[in-house]
Amino acid sequence: MTRQKPRLVMKFGGTSVANLERIRRVAKRVGVEVAKGYDVIVVVSAMAGKTNELVGWVGETSPLYDAREYDAVVSSGENVTAGLLALILQENGVEARSWQGWQVPVLTSSAHSSARIEDIPTANFDDRFDKGMQVAVVAGFQGISAEGRITTLGRGGSDTTAVAFAAAHEAERCDIYTDVDGVYTTDPRITSKARKLDRIAFEEMLELASLGAKVLQTRSVELAMRYKVKLRVLSSFEEPSDDAGTLVCAEEDIMESNVVAGVAFVRDEAKMTLVSVADRPGVSAAIFGPLAESGVNVDMIVQNIAEDGRTDMTFSLPVDQVARADRAVRDAMAAGQIEFRDLIADRDVSKVSVVGIGMRSHAGVAARMFRALSNEGINIRVITTSEIKISVLIDRKYMELAVQALHDEFGLEKA
């Protein structure tokens, strides 16, 4: 079917819709895009702080709450925002209608609080847009399972909702409005030299998001890369313009890439080492199987050279998962699955990473990174690499110094 007008997806986060005054600002911004000739799909989050409040209320009912009812409660914040924005748009003379996930319907898996989108039929919206609807305001973060229960997509799920709608509706672009004006070479709170990027490749954004950058949810970037959805990250508090924000796009849409696009960091990491593990086939599975079953998010893994049939196994993880990991590993030893002499946990490390698609064609990036850290007297505990990323674990007290040093080393303040 040939559409009368192109479609645009706009997503507004919690700070952008924190109160009625800000929702009115959002309505005006949406009206600008309607005036340009777009059929607009707006995806909204709950008002700032509302989801945390709802989660807290659920937690107070019982520590072993029903996950289905959890989703029913915490998804309600987005419903309020969607309805209010639709009302204000109508007052502004825009034909708007709010939609909850089940009404679209956003079809998801049955994994409550961490569901994945399986399909978004477009027939309902196609029909309504053809009949004069100008804006569909969608409650983000939520969907409906095959069992007919409301589901939620996990924290940051409204980003994923927006990208999924853009893919399903073949939207011209998906604009993600936040409280920052784009993607920066690193956190501006760490170094004043941080520079806003005009464009960044999907792969670079995916690495930065997974390595600690908070601008976009990792799953939303994965989805955008898979379906080639152009993303634009921009601030809802600045005046709109055609060159505002940062465009996240395919590598071929970027004329020239710097060797390194950005420096990411995760402040609260931990490092655990199993000392003197038997070096035999299957030992890694015996260690990391129980960790996975316990929900421990293992990241960097390093195995030392075996000596006399024994080896040390080191891995990093979020600092708040150390106790869970300790229990999982010790239970595995008690069950005779593994054996080790000691388990050492260091809760005072951070992960710092440099990311850039330019690394594929430039040698010496690792040497420059390690030299820059050495010049500042920063010792590297663990190193891991990929085709476009180098990550190191260092003492947490040196994290900000390391970020600044690497930002300077690769000249990221320069366009």
At 414, is the pLDDT very low, low, confident or very high (cuts 50, 70, 90)?
confident
Nearest Cα neighbor of 236 from 91, 45, 96 is 45
Residue range 262-315, pLDDT digits in tens: 999 999 999 999 999 988 888 899 999 999 998 899 999 998 876 777 889 999
- Give 255's contacts (C-beta < 8 A, 6+ positions apart): none
In terms of pLDDT, which residue wins out, 92 or 216? 92
CATH architecture of 263-409: 2-Layer Sandwich (3.30)
State the pLDDT confidence band at 136, using cuts at 50, 70 and 90: very high
What integer pLDDT is reported at residue 236 of this predicted model?
A: 86
Q: Is 14 annotated as a binding residue?
A: yes
pLDDT recorded at residue 401: 97
- Annotated binding-site residue? 215: yes
Q: Binding residue per annotation — 179?
A: yes
Whether the per-residue pLDDT at 346 is higher than 90: the answer is: yes
pLDDT band with cut points at 50, 70 and 90 for residue 240: confident
pLDDT at residue 9, as a whole number: 98
Place of tokens 């969608």: 138
Record the pTM: 0.82
Is 59 marked as a binding-site residue?
A: no
Q: Is pLDDT at 58 greater than 80 in this prediction?
A: yes
Q: Can you give the pLDDT at residue 42?
A: 98
3-state secondary structure (DSSP) of residue 175: strand
pLDDT value of position 256:
65
5 is in an annotated binding site: no
Collect all residues with Cβ–Cβ distance below 8 Å to 405 and sequence separation of at least 6.
372, 373, 375, 376, 378
User: Annotation-wise, does 189 bind a ligand?
Assistant: yes
Question: What's the confidence (pLDDT) of residue 250?
Answer: 87
Fold of domain 7-179? Carbamate kinase (3.40.1160)
The reply to whether 51 sits in an annotated binding site is: yes
Q: What residue spans define the domains of the chain?
A: 7-179, 263-409
Q: Is the pLDDT of residue 329 over 90?
A: yes
Q: Is 280 annotated as a binding residue?
A: no
Band the pLDDT of 102: cuts 50, 70, 90.
very high
Is 214 labeled as ligand-binding? yes
Angle value at C-alpha 305, between 301 and 309, nearest 5 degrees:
110
Task: Please give the pLDDT value at position 212.
Answer: 65
Task: Check residue 216 and give its pLDDT.
Answer: 83
| 178 is known to lie in a ligand binding site | yes
